[in-house]
Homo-oligomer: A and B are copies of this chain.
Amino acid sequence: MKNNSTQKPRVVIVGGGFAGLYTAKALKDAPVDVTLIDKRNFHLFQPLLYQVATGNISPADISSPLRLVLRHHKNTQVILDEVLDVDPHTKQLILKGHEPISYDMLIVATGVSHFYFGNDHWQTFAPGLKTIEDALEIRRRIYMAFEAAEKETDPEIRQAWLTFVIVGGGPTGVELAGAIAEIAHSSLEGDFRQIDTTATQILLLEGMDRILPPYPPELSVKAQESLTKLGVTVQTKTLVTNVTEEMVTVRQEEQVKNIAAKTILWAAGVKASKMGEVLAQRTGAKLDRAGRVMVEPDLSVVGHPDLFVIGDLANFSHQGDKPLPGVAPVAMQQGEYMAKLIKKRITKEPIEAFYYIDRGSLAVIGQNSAVVNLGFVKLSGFLAWLIWVWAHIYYLIEFDNKLVVMVQWGWNYFTQGRGARLITGEASPSTFVEVEARENKSRPHSVSHQPAVKV
């Protein structure tokens, strides 16, 4: 391999999400050899993934090929592969389909996946939203539910097909619930002959006493009002105790209730990716309850000054504060910090600890409606929505061809259309697995929000 023969420090980055990609981008022209390893050949703009799930835009609209983004970084190579193990003593990474790779500095940014509070079998019935494939599966379930309702003659089963439950009132849950309400009440208007899609029930369940818990309380109230106007029923202080193919069981103030619903979506909790555990085993790094790696003020793993964890996989706190949320702005700033640290190491300059500058948080509820917390000002409604649109376009156009998203949005805005609502792929076989009658012995778990505040 060409790059291994040079004498420049070898920086290896695992993961091409916001954290990893921003590190690589900021290392352009730095006197290092960069290797970026990812399982996928593209960077995913996750904040808009719910729009793929709801048939608004296409997967490619929010995916940027990693090689394309880094094409002009002559010091950088991309490897499409999976990391199986790391040896911090010989400084080597073990890959699935590639010879071992040596590093001088290693940056791990492999993110998080869904967490079902120990009930992993719920995943079959209540998919979460992290990957393109997740989004297409959710899209398939949403639109298939209306098709099934159209064919169903039993009114009770029909209503179950027209009931959508979203578990988790964080930004993703709020965005999904708002979008499904718009689908039922506006996009599909006039498309069916046997059912009235405006009779669709959309339930948003949240364990805490308000949705969007990381936001100021007044914005939670505004968000709930907007959702209600769209036709979403918000139920707070609601703990999910069981999920099956046909229903959700919840506990509300000591009352246990079954909700018959054929479409259940999960937006309620994350756990660290496998690399967290690998690092804990190999380096003795401490993990938090969600499996995220506790990092030092410079984002390194304790005792391993050349090994860093950034992005959602890292648990980083400003002194005495609670950990930073797993959101894109934190990941981007950590990526840029990493690049700065690496350059200063080479010139042997000191570097101060990482410090996150919070420029605010946004969550969209529906067309013309969002909530925005900029710290010095809190906004909701149309103006907040404009800020949301602007912020997302700003980040999207940083990469390649995202002009198309703007055109699609503009078109959808004026036509209320959802042209990307095609149902593709096969139903995952597990969807049709017969569910054994299961005694509900699991103790109730809090339906917590994703620790996520969107860009």
Contacts and interface: CB of A to CB of B under 8 A. Distances in A.
B40 A81 contact: no
Query: Could you say how many copies of this chain the assembly holds?
Result: 2
The listed residue with most B CB atoms (<10 A of its CB), out of A41, A143, A147, A419, is A419
A262 B195 CA distance: 49
Given A40-B423, A132-B424, A422-B59, A407 B417 contact: no
B97 A151 contact: yes
Given A2-B194, A60-B420, A61-B58, A151 B401 contact: no
Nearest to A39: B423
Interface in A36-87: 40-42, 55, 57-61, 63-65, 67-68, 71-72, 77, 79-81
Nearest to A406: B407
B404 A408 contact: yes
Contacts of A1: 194
A24 to B, nearest CB: 13
Nearest to A42: B422
B67 A191 contact: yes
A211 to B, nearest CB: 30
Given A151-B97, A407-B403, A408-B401, A63 B190 contact: no
Interface string A116-135: 00000000000000001100
Interface in A402-455: 403-404, 407-408, 411-412, 415, 417-425
A94 to B, nearest CB: 15
Interface of A: 1-3, 40-42, 55, 57-61, 63-65, 67-68, 71-72, 77, 79-81, 97-99, 132-133, 136, 143, 147, 150-151, 153, 188, 190-194, 400-401, 403-404, 407-408, 411-412, 415, 417-425
